[in-house]
Amino acid sequence: MSIRSSMHVIGAIMLETLLNADGGGFRGITIPHDGGHTAQFVDYREKKLLTVLGEVSVKRAYYHDKEYHCGLCPKDESLDIVATSYSPGVRRLMSKVGAMRPFDLGHNDLYELANIRVNAKEVERVSEMVGDQVEAFHGGQAEAALSAKVIPIKAVPRLYVSMDGTGVPVVKRETTDRRGKDGGLAKTREAKLGCIFTQTSTDKEGRPIRDEQSTSYIGAIETADEFASRLYKEAKRRGIDRAAEVCVIGDGALWIWNIADEQFHGACQIVDLYHAREHYWTVARACFKNKEEQNQWAEERRMELNDGNVERVLKAIAGLSALPGYDREQCEREIGYFEKNKERMRYADFRKRGLFVGSGVMEAGCRTVVGQRLKQSGMHWSVSGANNIIALRCCQLSNRWEDFWEYRAAA
């Protein structure tokens, strides 16, 4: 037996002794139960519990409610082991690896790093269960902020809200009657992701600096209305009411700006510069076959857009649209895009004010929160399973993991 195994055995014996020091948690012949009922003591029952030190047996007083026809062990509630054979510490480790790694690799990690033997299906089940609890925790904090029961102490000069969508591969039953972009049956569902961060300074050149550790993420596969409520509550939790300035950054998707108008009225709206550039490049590729002509025309538009002179960009595209031989339909589509978003593209003005003009934080969030875990080869999720893992990853990547487990311990 290795030294590590010996230490685990000794630790498990000591832990078992400590857990059973109360004699089983007897609380009287009868105890109050839900709905004004009483539950009567029956006997003591043992439960095998897997802990980070190994398996232990826990002695618990068992009570029965005759009216509800159900049994309960109050000691399970105090130890946070109701309806589970895994200790909180083991569940924490299982959900941690389940959020970061494919389940069939996560169970190997647990064995190699902590000598915890569980199968991949159990890692999946516990990860989704904890993800559901994380979602409830986030929801509770958001509701508290919404009701003004919790008020952020520190005011921030500038708060940014950014949002985007990314496809998540799902099982077939989750795409019934849903069509993909190619007209066939959809194979993905859109996960909407939002991030909120703050800015208090700029560098020597006047470029904005994101406050370190200030980014929080929220997200789920849900409707735009549901996501709008989720994002607004997170903004309230982050102190939007105490922000001197609020900026919303996104691409040209209609649902994004609908949320910005409805939930963040009066905020500065900025179309991500790099998404905007894609649209004049679409025109260049559609109208010019020669690469040199494409590059020259696009470079002129780049300088105009950098100056926030959207009217010049519109005039250039309209000029191509009027000429024979060019893709008029594509030009008119892009004219509509720039016309609709022109006040969100005054990039020279935004830069003078020391504002971000790109959604790099959001783009990275889509890759990190969703892509790296939920879009690997061969993966197909249920919506509920994907949402639970997204909740876990948002919690971890928003530096709220410790807060959640402290909440669990105090509940």
Question: pLDDT higher for 150 or 98?
Answer: 98
Residues 65 and 204 in one domain: no
Instruction: Kindly state the DSSP code that residue 191 receives in the 8-state scheme.
Output: E
- Residue 178, pLDDT score: 85
Amino acid of residue 104: D
In this structure, the answer to whether residues 303 and 323 fall within a common structural domain is yes
- 239 is a domain residue: yes
Percent of the chain with pLDDT over 90: 82
Per-residue pLDDT, 381:
97
Instruction: Looking at the structure, tell me whether residues 299 and 385 fall in a common domain.
Output: no
Overall size of the chain counted in residues: 411
Neighbours of 409 (CB within 10 A): 9
For 288, residues 6+ apart whose C-beta sits below 8 A from its C-beta are: 294, 297
Where a domain ends, among 42, 58, 85?
85
Position 123 in a domain: no
**Pair (307, 265) in one structural domain:** no
Same domain, 246 and 182: yes
Each residue's pLDDT tens digit, 198-255: 999 999 999 999 999 999 999 999 999 999 999 999 999 999 999 999 999 999 899 9
- CA-CA-CA-CA dihedral for 35, 139, 144, 209, to nearest 10: 170
**Same-domain pairing of 330 and 282:** yes
Q: What is the mean pLDDT of residues 320-341?
A: 91
pLDDT classification of 343: cutoffs 50, 70, 90: very high
Q: Examine the fold and report which residue of 37, 62, 85 is the final residue of a domain before the chain moves on.
A: 85
Cα distance between residue 177 and residue 141, in whole Å: 36
Q: Would you place residue 376 in the very low, low, confident or very high pLDDT band (cuts 50, 70, 90)?
A: very high
Q: Using the predicted structure, report yes or no on whether residue 369 has a pLDDT greater than 80.
A: yes
Tell me, yes or no, whether 194 lies in a domain.
yes
Output the six-digit token pair for 105.
């690799």
Q: What are phi and psi of 152, to 5 degrees?
A: -55, 135
| Domain limit, last residue, from 48, 70, 85 | 85
Residues in CB range of 378: below 8 A, 6 or more apart: none
Is-contact 64 74, C-beta < 8 A? no
Q: What is the pLDDT of residue 145?
A: 82
Burial letters 136-159, b for 16+ CB under 10 A, else e: ebbeebbeebeeeeeeeeeebebb
- Say how many domains are in the chain: 3
Report the pLDDT averaged over residues 275-304. Answer: 95
Q: Are residues 265 and 319 in the same domain?
A: no
Overall average pLDDT of the 120-125 stretch? 96
133 lies in some domain: no
CATH code at position 390: 3.30.420
Residue 34 inside a domain? The answer is: yes
**Which residue's entry shows tokens 């929080």?**
216
One domain, residues 158 and 266? yes
**Full domain range(s) for residue 68:** 3-85
DSSP state, 267?
-
For residue 49, report the phi and psi dihedrals to the nearest 5 degrees.
-125, 125
End-to-end CA separation in angstroms for the chain: 39
In this prediction the pTM is 0.90
Establish if 99 belongs to a structural domain.
Answer: no
Residue 53: pLDDT band (50, 70, 90) is very high
Note whether 166 and 263 are same-domain residues.
Answer: yes
Clarify whether residues 78 and 193 are in a common domain.
no
Residue 245 CA to residue 155 CA, distance in Å, equals: 11
The pLDDT tens digits of the residues spanning 154-186 come to: 788 899 999 999 999 999 999 988 887 777 788
Same domain, 170 and 278: no
Q: Is the pLDDT of residue 68 over 60?
A: yes
Predicted confidence (pLDDT) at residue 1 exceeds the cutoff of 60: no
The mean pLDDT of the chain is 93
- How far is it, in rounded angstroms, from Cα 155 to Cα 6? 52
Give the DSSP H/E element, type plus range, for residue 320. Answer: helix 310-321
The answer on 380 and 241 residing in a single domain is: yes
